[in-house]
Amino acid sequence: MTTRAGRPATLEDVARLAGVSRSTASRVIAGTGFASTAARSRVTAAADQLGYVPDPAARALVRGAGVRLAVAVCGESQAVLDDPYVEQVVANAARVGGPYGLGVSLHWLPLAGSNALHRIAEDRGVRGVVLVNTTEPLLAALPRSLRGRVASLGVGSADVPSFDVDNGGGATQVLHHLYASGRRRIAMVAGPRWLPCTDRSARAYQRLSRDAGLPVRLLPGDFTAERGRAAAREAMRRWPDTDAIFAVSDPTALGVLAGLRGHGVEVPGDVAVAGFDDIPLAALTAPALTTASHPVGRIAAAAATALAEGARAAPITSFPSVLIPRESA
């Protein structure tokens, strides 16, 4: 072969083998512009004979497009990056990015005034940004240069398409399930105050409680198991007659389970417990956790695909959440 030994083939090699010019080969590979069927087949044949893979760097350079997707996570500390939810997002983005020649990098966005997102926007290496735990101030101050290449896993805006689970729907199903099984004094452990989706589920809870004439027992949370433990203690102290606790995150719900157990409270006998997310281990606890599904992987993959294809996504893509009834409620 005319390929230099040991080095991957270039477009030039493919063109030479196919007996056409670099330009024609490029048009065939990229699928843009004209090419005769003869040329087309000769080029594709040559390409896979040589095992040709376009160099994403060269491509990105000339197209001015950037070579990776940045996953940017808002949070109080850098520890949010260790969250299994975030890890799942990154892995799924990395999986869909590969075929497009895109890699994924992971960044922390401090909650209060920081120019971290601006630094990401300035980076020519960044093709698009996946926002996780998106806050409203952040969306308001979005760098202009990012317009059209951001996707939010959470709340969106006019400029930023949103890919999210139907929080309200999932919470409603869980609450209906609790009500249907006779629970009337339901406490809820919500998400962090600064996170907009907290509002969604909290509002669903407040509306349903008001409509059914039930008390509102709302506790702030942060999605961690530790917080669940504390919240369980707090709920039982403040409202000893509580007969159900709904935590909007499975780790928190498992923490609640542990906290109640420590207090000698029977689940689901004395108090029912429900979570949200359906993490794999929710099925393994004793009692197994009743929860609502949250297809994080599919959501992240959809957002990453939209960014990779550069297509303008629908303003809101909502993924359904379904109730997974198990033993704890």
Q: How far is the CB of 84 from a copy of itself (least distance, A)?
A: 6
* Interaction mask 275-304, a copy of itself, x per CB under 8 A: ----xxx-xxxx----------x-------
| Nearer to a copy of itself among residue 214 and residue 288 (C-beta) | 288
Let me know: does 24 contact 36? Beta carbons within 8 Å.
no
* Cβ-contact 134, 153 below 8 angstroms: yes
Pairing relationship of beta strands 323-324 and 291-292 according to DSSP bridges: antiparallel
Residue 321 burial by CB count (10 A; 0-12/13-18/19+): exposed, middle or buried? buried
For position 118 contacting a copy of itself by CB under 8 A, the verdict is yes
Long-range contacts of 137-140 (CB under 8 A, 24+ apart): 138/74, 138/109
Q: Which is nearer to a copy of itself, 111 or 258 (CB)?
A: 258
> What is the chain's Cα-based Rg?
25
Does residue number 147 form part of the binding site for DNA (CB under 7 A)?
no
Residue 44 CB, shortest distance to a copy of itself, in Å, is 16
Question: Using CB under 7 A, which of 45, 58, 79, 322 touches DNA?
Answer: 58
- Residue 26 or 209: which CB sits closer to a copy of itself? 26
Q: Do the strands 244-247 and 162-165 form a parallel or antiparallel pair, or are they unpaired?
A: unpaired
Judged by beta carbon distances under 5 to 8 A according to partner kind, the member of DNA, a copy of itself, none in contact with residue 297 is: a copy of itself
Please report how close the Cβ of residue 322 comes to DNA at its closest, in angstroms. Answer: 42
In the three-class reduction of DSSP (H, G, I as helix; E, B as strand; rest coil), residue 130 is classed as strand
Residue 154: CB atoms within 10 A of its CB come to 22
Residue 275: DSSP 8-state = -
39 near DNA, judged by CB under 7 A: yes
How many residues make contact with DNA (CB under 7 A)?
A: 30
Question: Residue 151 Cβ, how far from DNA at the closest point, in Å?
Answer: 22
Query: How are beta strands 150-153 and 126-132 bridged, if at all?
Result: parallel
- Choose which of 1, 33, 87, 320 interacts with DNA (CB under 7 A): 33
Contact footprint for DNA (CB under 7 A): 7, 10-12, 20-24, 26-27, 29-30, 32-36, 38-39, 52, 54-55, 58-59, 61-64, 124
